[in-house]
């Protein structure tokens, strides 16, 4: 009778056999495993397994690619199977929509590149998606974030694209998402009130809501 609850739990649960094959995973874990290699997860499970039979729960930040979790529970009853339950990060990151102005995103990026090259020598490669329209965004916050990211970088690759099929809901409005993928050495971790920033080993991804009309949002 508990299977229903486990199946639709918001935390991914995966059970492996001895060889690292998956015996069971719930719905959330299926989504998770479509991004992450199961071997990576199995290795992590074995490495962090409790010494004795039972369940070990640990609350610490763990990361698989750009997916972040707040902790995990790993447990086993016999040598045939081992399970891992990842605890998702439920902190809601709110994005502030303030001082929005209509701008051309690639022009803003070009400006940041020129400005950085006045102060330091960084080689940039860019690949812009020409289908991105002019959007409303807080240009000051965006430029300051870019300046911080580009600081002390030797080589940077920038790509922009619209995420297909992904949306962000802000103030009861649904917006498509623009990703600005910045490949560089991730020197710092950034938290920003205006954008969602994901950090991984190959750099940063800044996600921006695609707001086309000023009155799309009443706070502007």
Quick one: 58 or 114, whose CB is closer to another protein?
A: 114
* Minimum CB distance to another protein, residue 114 (Å): 5
* Minimum CB distance to another protein, residue 143 (Å): 5
Quick one: 144 or 173, whose CB is closer to another protein?
A: 144
Q: Which region among 33-41, 51-59, 87-95, 102-110 touches another protein (by CB under 8 A)? A: 102-110
- The answer to whether 190 contacts another protein (rule: CB under 8 A) is no
Span 131-150, contacts to another protein by CB under 8 A: 139-140, 143-144, 147
- Token pair of 66 as six digits: 């750009």
- The answer to whether 117 contacts another protein (rule: CB under 8 A) is yes
Quick one: 49 or 103, whose CB is closer to another protein?
A: 103
* Minimum CB distance to another protein, residue 163 (Å): 25
Q: Report the residue from 1, 92, 118, 164 that binds another protein according to the rule CB under 8 A.
A: 118
**Calpha distance 209→174 (Å, rounded):** 9
- The answer to whether 108 contacts another protein (rule: CB under 8 A) is yes
User: Count of residues binding another protein (CB under 8 A)?
Assistant: 15
CB atoms within 10 A of CB 208: 24
Span 147-166, contacts to another protein by CB under 8 A: 147
CB atoms within 10 A of CB 131: 8
> DSSP string spanning 116-179?
HHHHS--EEEEE--TT---EEE-HHHHHHHHHHHHTT-SEEEEEEEEEEEEEEEETTEEEEEEE
Q: Which region among 48-56, 113-121, 125-133, 175-183 touches another protein (by CB under 8 A)? A: 113-121
- The answer to whether 188 contacts another protein (rule: CB under 8 A) is no
Please, where are the H alpha helices in the chain? 3-7, 27-35, 38-47, 105-119, 139-150
- DSSP tag of 51: S
Contact between residue 194 and residue 180 where contact means Cβ atoms under 8 Å apart: no
CA 91-97-99 angle, to 5 degrees, is 145
Q: Which residues bind another protein (CB under 8 A)?
A: 101, 103, 107-108, 110-111, 114-115, 117-118, 139-140, 143-144, 147
């Amino acid at each position: 009778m508990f299977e229903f609850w486990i199946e639709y739990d918001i935390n991914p649960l995966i059970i492996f056999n001895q060889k690292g094959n998956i015996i069971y995973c719930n719905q959330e874990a299926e989504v998770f495993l479509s991004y992450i290699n199961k071997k990576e997860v199995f290795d992590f499970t074995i490495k962090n397994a409790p010494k004795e039979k039972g369940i070990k729960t640990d609350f610490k930040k763990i990361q698989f690619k750009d997916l972040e979790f707040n902790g995990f529970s790993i447990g086993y009853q016999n040598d045939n199977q081992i399970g891992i339950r990842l605890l998702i990060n439920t902190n809601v990151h709110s994005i502030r929509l303030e001082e929005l102005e209509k701008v051309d995103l690639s022009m803003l990026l070009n400006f940041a590149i020129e400005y950085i090259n006045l102060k330091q020598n960084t080689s940039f490669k860019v690949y812009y998606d020409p289908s991105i329209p002019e959007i409303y965004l807080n240009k000051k916050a965006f430029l300051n974030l870019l300046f911080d990211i580009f600081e002390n970088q030797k080589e940077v690759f920038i790509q922009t694209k619209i995420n297909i099929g992904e949306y962000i809901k802000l103030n009861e409005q649904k917006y498509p998402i623009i990703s600005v993928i910045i490949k560089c050495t991730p020197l710092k971790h950034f938290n920003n009130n205006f954008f969602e920033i994901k950090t991984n080993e190959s750099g940063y991804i800044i996600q921006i809501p695609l707001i086309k009309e000023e009155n799309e949002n009443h706070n502007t």
